[in-house]
Amino acid sequence: MKTICTRVLVLLFLCPLMSNAQELDSAFIKQRAAYFADSLDKAYQNKLWDQYVSLTQPGLIKFLGGKAGVIDYAERLWMVLNQDIGEKVSTQHVLQIVSKDNAWQCVVEKIKEVYYNERKAWVTTYVVGKSEDEGVSWKFVEISEGMLINAREVMRDISDELIIPKRTVVYEDDLKKQQEAEAAAAVKKQQQQQSKKRVAKK
């Protein structure tokens, strides 16, 4: 009986420690995924194509015909997006991490500030990453503006648990109109509630 009680106490002591360790591991893995996703973006923005390829998933490299194909595609994409619409990443964060077959996978959200026909907009795109060294380093499939490639076509082992949202575009003027409409609706609702209270008092 004494032995059983001792084991129970040991387990009760170790469980919080194991939970804390798992949380620390997840935080570290997210941090590394964010760092490498940022490195991918900086390599792209600064046209450091060798570095960009080194951070790209092998499946995408093969899909585009090898290293030269990735560089050619990225260069043409850069010319269109940076010269025509002034693409600039404003924020980026890791949405999700999951483990599968002794590897880690993630989805990173990137919000880019752009200009379409002199209209300011924010384009939200997503990057799917994979790490095979316990989250220390990452390689990505970038589902960016103009790259209408299904991530699952080039990264066959993507976890079914990963949720990859669709790309969205929000224009500044449309957002302003929406906010004004919501504010007007809130004022109208408040006025109606106050009117009902006055009627009730009578």
Kindly state whether residues 188 and 121 are assigned to the same domain. Answer: no
User: Which residues, in sequence order, are CB contacts of 21 under 8 Å at separation 6+?
Assistant: none
Q: What is the pLDDT of residue 8?
A: 41
Q: Does any domain span residue 33?
A: yes
What is the Cα 14 distance to its own chain's centre? 34
Give the pLDDT confidence score for residue 86 in this predicted structure.
Answer: 58
Instruction: Count structural domains, the chain.
Output: 2
Q: State whether 146 and 181 are in the same domain.
A: no
Q: Is the same domain home to 150 and 182? A: no
If you ran DSSP here, which 8-state letter would residue 56 be given? B
193 and 138 in a common domain:
no
Q: Which residues contact 155 (CB under 8 A, 6 or more apart)?
A: 57, 59, 60, 128, 130, 141
Are 49 and 34 members of one domain?
Answer: yes
pTM: 0.72
> What pLDDT, on the 0 to 100 scale, is given for residue 83?
59
Token pair 């964060």 is found at: 93
Domain that residue 34 falls in: 17-166
Phi, psi angles (nearest 5°) of residue 52: -60, -45
161 and 176 in a common domain? no
Residue at 87 is within a domain: yes
**Amino acid type, 11:** L
Contact 143, 164 (CB under 8 A): yes
Q: Let me know whether 156 and 103 are in one domain.
A: yes
Residue 1 resides in a domain: no
In the predicted model, residues of the chain with pLDDT beneath 70 are 1-24, 82-90, 143-150, 199-202
Close Cβ partners of 86 (under 8 Å, ≥ 6 residues apart): 114, 115
Q: Is residue 11 part of a domain?
A: no
Same domain, 95 and 135: yes
* pLDDT 10s digits, 69-109: 999 989 988 887 765 555 666 688 999 999 998 899 999 99
